[in-house]
Amino acid sequence: MLLAGCVFPDMPNLIAATRRSKSAFTLVLGVAGLTLWLAGAAAGLVAHPSLGLALRVVAILIFAAASIRRSSLLVWTFFAMLAGVELGFDVPHLAVQVRFLGDLFLRLIRMIVAPLIFATINNGIEGHNQLR
């Protein structure tokens, strides 16, 4: 580390600048993907369904590249929502067949909510006993 400090005295600033540029590039990819997807949706609704489909597929690929670069749960959730909307928009009969995955997810969420609330209330009651 001492050698690196002598050779590159501004190494922390360089690392911070690199992180900012990667974050800015990811943001630009995400905005470009979203813009292309909206343009594809508009083109598909107006009069050019094949152009709209092509734009939406390119937008999904660009947004997937942005999602891979930034592994955040928010970004992946937005990507999954966008892909689900695209699937339902272009191939509705396949989206109906894949509905069981959404139902399974919702059942899993409902299954975890009751024990989570019970554990939270139980922990709160136990915490009040320690105050005395």
Query: For the residues 15-37, what does the mean pLDDT come to?
Result: 73
Sequence-distant (6+) residues with CB within 8 A of 128 are: none
Quick one: pLDDT at residue 1? 47
Encode pLDDT of 53-107 as tens digits.
888 888 888 888 877 876 778 878 888 888 888 888 888 888 888 888 889 988 9
Structure tokens at 65: 């590249």
